[in-house]
Amino acid sequence: MAKEQRVYKAHCLVLPYPSQGHINPLLQFSKLLDHKQVKVTLVTTRFIYNTMYRGSSCTALDTISVETISDGYDEGGRAQAESIQVYLESFWKVGSQTLAELLEKLSGSGCPVDCLVYDAFMPWPLDVARKFGIVGAVFFTQSCAVDNIYYHVNKGLLKLPLTDSEILLPGMPPLEPLDLPSFVYDFGSYPAVFEVVIGQFSNVDKADWVLCNTFYELEEQVVDWMPKFWPLRTIGPTVPSNYLDKRLADDKDYGVNLFKSNNDACMQWLNEHLKNSVAYISFGSAARLGFEQMEELAWGLRRSKSKFLWVVRESEAAKVPKGFIEETVEKGLVVSWCSQLEVLAHEAVGCFITHCGWNSTLEALSLGVPLVAMPQWTDQSTNAKYIRDVWKIGVKAQPDEKGIVRQQEVEHCISEIMEGERGKEIQKNAMKWKELARNAVDEGGSSDKNIDEFIAKLVKR
């Protein structure tokens, strides 16, 4: 149905932080709003639009409008800035001004904006929304458990540097220091990024809605505690509908990709292998493993009895040991990029070795794929704790005293999931969470109800 023929209940402006891991969850949420007759205008920076959106095959963009604002670096984006701090200060200053200009333009369009949904990494859009008298909904792209930790740090309720060997926070299991996000247990590392993640809570108390990319059943205890001080609603997992409830026709991918995919080669290779026989390895779009860790991972894959599909971005390719690809051609495939969802959904994949970023964790959980957690930094260590000890859908690879996961450990972790008795229990738990994730987003599920409530409040307003 053409855009102009549709009747909309409300109009939401959706503003993600300009990186793939933040854009895709908010784009998926936009698709859900559009499906429920809410007009959505997705806002991105001019640089991101020129590099990621032009020529996009995403069918959602047929009905979702895309507008741009400036971050002050229209030609080169964040990479052009001297530092993350300089970039964010520019985005705050220039972004606030150009976002206000966009809202002014849309206010006279015949379909004024009712709500601004903005990424929690950028608190300043709420101030712009307030000036225009529209609802502000902050969107968190990490788990509620991680939000809870950062909130306690922001409020001074969790003192840093850490001195206790056990950390007790409401709604969460007992945590060791290394179970906390890296910026918390290694206080002083990456201070600029620390300010970003803790700064998410600088004005969250003033938001009309707090939306979280998780689902109630996954984090019941912490989700029950957090609404005591926030108007929090879980609306995830924001995974394309084709892999969950199948209510959105043709919703098979996110629609925004940084890299060219080797998908056909991957699917053809996977089709030649037995069910649950392949270990899939990917560390996302940004993680950088050291040379020694890449070598140990490679030799661990060679030692393993399982076949493997390993995603090594072009920027990381030089770290693969010389001759490894030729030596393992009979048991493995190394590609520069592929559609993670399609790979995880393939029946040949029996485990997923990853850093456990939140998007990757949700994807694996939603598709019932057991995980081998190799956290690198940020919130990944907390996600790994939940994967192993709370949801029991995987194992955590143990590093040595140098912080390197050795090849014997890589081999052991793959074997434990793919061959051992513990692996059978992990597989069973993974399938349980897959069903619960599907139920949450399906009609009448916990996340679906929360989205309907959000829309109903906008319509009443």
Residues with Cβ within 8 Å of 10's Cβ and at least 6 positions away in sequence, in order, are: 38, 39, 114, 115, 455, 458, 459
Q: Which residues belong to CATH 3.40.50.2000 in the chain?
A: 3-247+442-460, 263-437
Q: Please report, for residues 21, 36, 355, 448, 457, the alpha-carbon distance to residue 443 in angstroms, rounded to integers and kept in the order given.
A: 26, 11, 32, 6, 19
The one catalytic residue in 34, 71, 114, 119 is: 119
Burial (Cβ within 10 Å: 0-12, 13-18, ≥19) of residue 447: buried
So what CATH class is 263-437? Answer: alpha beta
Q: For residues 41-80, b (16+ Cβ closer than 10 Å) or e, as one string?
A: bbbbbbbbbeebbeeeebbbbebbbbbbbbbbbeeebbee
- pLDDT reported for residue 60: 58
3-247+442-460 CATH? 3.40.50.2000
Could you tell me how far CA 51 lies from the centroid of its own chain? 20
pTM: 0.95
The one catalytic residue in 11, 22, 273, 412 is: 22
At 136, which amino acid appears?
Answer: G
Q: Is 22 a catalytic residue?
A: yes
Q: In the structure encoding, which two tokens stand for residue 15, read together?
A: 């503003």
pLDDT in tens, the chain (461 residues): 344 567 899 999 999 999 888 999 999 999 999 999 999 999 999 999 988 755 455 555 667 899 999 999 999 988 898 888 999 999 999 999 999 999 999 998 888 999 999 999 999 999 999 999 999 999 999 999 999 999 999 999 999 999 999 999 999 999 999 999 999 999 999 898 899 999 999 999 999 999 999 999 999 999 999 998 899 999 999 999 999 999 998 898 887 766 777 789 999 999 999 999 999 999 988 788 999 999 999 999 999 999 999 999 999 999 999 999 999 999 999 999 999 999 999 999 999 999 999 999 999 999 999 999 999 999 999 999 999 999 999 999 999 999 999 999 999 999 999 998 999 999 999 999 999 999 999 999 999 999 999 999 999 87
